[in-house]
Chains A and B, each alone.
Chain A
């Protein structure tokens, strides 16, 4: 058992310090090591028993539960439920006391926990230094710059307007090529002009389109230029009506450039985040969630009883398609590349995962449907799977091609199925229906229909690793960079 104790004196009255600390979800606003944080199930942040789920800037992920909260004694106790760090039995107490001599605040922070033998010293220093001492300095700075913690900042995961990275950075493709062309560089965002806002980005979504662009398959950048189509964060400066510093927002839109700590964008591309949506969840869901939204509700309207074929069913879009199609009453068949991914897809609403690494799925699809085939095929595979898709399609079915991981499709004839074929593009839909699409995604998130699986988090600087893992099919669910 390790015991870590740290204490400091904060040059502010105890009421001000406590107003921040009693909010179990305030830490992302003031702690320099804490990334996006959300209270699960939308509970209030002073509800004893509530659980906060948050990312550390180093990529680790932690769920903590509030055990005690006393406004009389200025005490908060909490424990770790799950962490990607090897810490067990972690219970921590924060206690404030009034320093009557000068109206300051004494802050004592203490915990006990277990770690693997031999790593005690490392964790004593990690928790004592990078968590507690860094927290003291972070909160002191937060109080100094903010004047007073506004209710908005106290209540949510927002950051203050001027927490902008002192050294703005972006991951840039220095040339077209493999992951090795990605480089972290200093890159500022210009001040916003009329109709624009400047954001401090905290979570950035990684998508397969980023790989296409990096390779030069899609000529959407001229290197050197930053990649990335979606992110979430906090407004730093606004020249647009309806957006103010401190607002939490997200976007998914071209042109590339989201792999950055700060960015200036047209306000029309932004969606305000409801309190129940964390910045990480937004980064995971904006592009992929809205893709699922328009595929299931707009490009094709899935009806109860439809048979839906989802390729890459354990992937970022695939899992969301499975979850949502199932909730709509469809029967979901999916293709995956491994047994483990089949399990994951099954747990997310895919009734019949087909394991294949060679894109052979038509025969099994016909078997599962009594020879009829799938009413709608959501195809992100492209060329290699074209013949199988045609064979797996039901008569009068709809083949929706929204990606081509294996190469562009050659022209197809669907006469033999009287089938429909479409090649929808997300950004054409968001150009028309952005608020409605994002609204439906956030509602589905709130209702538990969509459940993001953010299992792969990387610091922004490690974007190349994220690309390697994505291309090697080592990831499942959504991939997020934390800035």
Chain B
């Protein structure tokens, strides 16, 4: 089991950032790498257990299940059901915390998963920087508008 942790500070209030990221079907709107997304079986995107099915710009398809969603803690957790990444038991959490000094947001995103040992370093880099940090950077631009 390896753990990847990425965190950043976003120069917008936590409510505004949460309004973007709480939509489990909203990845195409704020991430640079998701081309399209739908929720399977026509369920609401904030229904616990719903599955988002999205296609990356490079063609890969990922299915993820929503495990927890808290408007109180500004936090959601999800697991990967299918992906081209070669990971097992992948569970990730995205959490926002207000920074009262300056009305900003402390954003955390972490994941735990299993993979082939020789791929750990590359996957940690790919997920931590290529996905989480890249998504944070994109989010900073979206909420700054």
Decide if A7 touches B6 in the complex (CB within 8 Å): no
Decide if A98 touches B5 in the complex (CB within 8 Å): yes
Residue total for A at the interface (Cβ-Cβ under 8 A): 17
Decide if B8 touches A99 in the complex (CB within 8 Å): yes
Decide if B101 touches A106 in the complex (CB within 8 Å): no
Question: A358 contacts the other chain (Cβ, under 8 Å)?
Answer: no
B contact residues around A6 at 8 Å (CB)? 100-101
Question: B106 contacts the other chain (Cβ, under 8 Å)?
Answer: yes
The CA-CA distance from A73 to B98 in the complex, in Å, is 19
Residue total for B at the interface (Cβ-Cβ under 8 A): 17
Decide if B100 touches A7 in the complex (CB within 8 Å): yes
Q: Which residue of B lies closest to A95 (CB)?
A: B97
Chain A, interface SS category? strand
**Chain A min CB distance to B16 (Å):** 16
B contact residues around A108 at 8 Å (CB)? 97
Contact of A100 (CB < 8 Å), options: B8, B97, B100, B104: B8
**Chain A min CB distance to B125 (Å):** 12
**B97-112 Cβ-contact flags toward A at 8 Å (1 or 0):** 1111110101010000
Contact of B99 (CB < 8 Å), options: A98, A102, A106: A106
Question: A101 contacts the other chain (Cβ, under 8 Å)?
Answer: yes
Q: Which residue of B lies closest to A132 (CB)?
A: B100
Question: A8 contacts the other chain (Cβ, under 8 Å)?
Answer: yes
| Most-contacted residue by chain A among B104, B106, B108, B133 (CB, 10 A) | B106
**In the complex where A6-B100, A7-B100, A133-B101 touch, is A100 in contact with B6 (Cβ < 8 A)?**
yes
Question: B67 contacts the other chain (Cβ, under 8 Å)?
Answer: no
**B23-35 Cβ-contact flags toward A at 8 Å (1 or 0):** 0000000000000
Contact of B7 (CB < 8 Å), options: A5, A8, A100, A136: A100
Contact of B100 (CB < 8 Å), options: A5, A101, A102: A5
**In the complex where A100-B6, A101-B9 touch, is A9 in contact with B106 (Cβ < 8 A)?**
yes
| Most-contacted residue by chain A among B6, B100, B133 (CB, 10 A) | B100
Question: B136 contacts the other chain (Cβ, under 8 Å)?
Answer: yes
**B107-145 Cβ-contact flags toward A at 8 Å (1 or 0):** 010000000000000000000100001001000000000
Decide if A99 touches B106 in the complex (CB within 8 Å): yes
Decide if A7 touches B8 in the complex (CB within 8 Å): no
The CA-CA distance from A101 to B9 in the complex, in Å, is 8
**A97-123 Cβ-contact flags toward B at 8 Å (1 or 0):** 111111010101000000000000000
Contact of A7 (CB < 8 Å), options: B5, B7, B99, B128: B99
**Chain A min CB distance to B15 (Å):** 15
B contact residues around A133 at 8 Å (CB)? 100-101
A contact residues around B99 at 8 Å (CB)? 7-9, 106
**Chain A min CB distance to B4 (Å):** 10
The CA-CA distance from A174 to B109 in the complex, in Å, is 63
Contact of B101 (CB < 8 Å), options: A7, A97, A102: A7
Q: Which residue of A lies closest to B101 (CB)?
A: A8
Decide if A9 touches B100 in the complex (CB within 8 Å): no
B contact residues around A100 at 8 Å (CB)? 5-8, 128, 133
Contact of B136 (CB < 8 Å), options: A7, A9, A101: A101
Contact of A97 (CB < 8 Å), options: B104, B106, B136: B106
A contact residues around B128 at 8 Å (CB)? 100
Q: Which residue of B lies closest to A98 (CB)?
A: B7
Q: Which residue of B lies closest to A108 (CB)?
A: B97
Decide if A101 touches B106 in the complex (CB within 8 Å): no
Decide if B5 touches A8 in the complex (CB within 8 Å): no
A contact residues around B101 at 8 Å (CB)? 6-9, 133, 136
**Chain A min CB distance to B23 (Å):** 23
B contact residues around A5 at 8 Å (CB)? 98, 100
Interface residues of A in 7-25 (CB under 8 A from B): 7-9
The CA-CA distance from A140 to B100 in the complex, in Å, is 16
Interface residues of A in 63-105 (CB under 8 A from B): 97-102, 104
A contact residues around B5 at 8 Å (CB)? 98, 100
**Chain A min CB distance to B104 (Å):** 7
Contact of A9 (CB < 8 Å), options: B6, B104, B108, B133: B104
Q: Which residue of B lies closest to A133 (CB)?
A: B101
The CA-CA distance from A6 to B97 in the complex, in Å, is 11
Decide if B97 touches A99 in the complex (CB within 8 Å): no
Q: Which residue of A lies closest to B109 (CB)?
A: A100
**Chain B min CB distance to A125 (Å):** 13
Q: Which residue of A lies closest to B95 (CB)?
A: A97
4 shortest A-B CB distances, which residue pairs? A101-B8, A8-B101, A106-B106, A6-B100
Which residues on A are within 8 Å of B, measured CB to CB? 5-9, 97-102, 104, 106, 108, 128, 133, 136
30 contacts between A and B (CB under 8 A): A5-B98, A6-B100, A6-B101, A7-B98, A7-B99, A8-B99, A8-B100, A8-B101, A9-B99, A9-B104, A97-B7, A97-B106, A98-B5, A98-B7, A99-B8, A99-B9, A100-B5, A100-B6, A100-B8, A100-B128, A100-B133, A101-B6, A101-B8, A102-B8, A102-B9, A106-B9, A106-B97, A106-B99, A128-B100, A136-B101
List 13 extra interface pairs beyond A7-B106, A97-B7, A99-B8, CB under 8 A: A5-B98, A7-B98, A9-B104, A97-B106, A99-B9, A99-B106, A100-B6, A101-B6, A101-B8, A101-B136, A106-B106, A133-B100, A136-B101
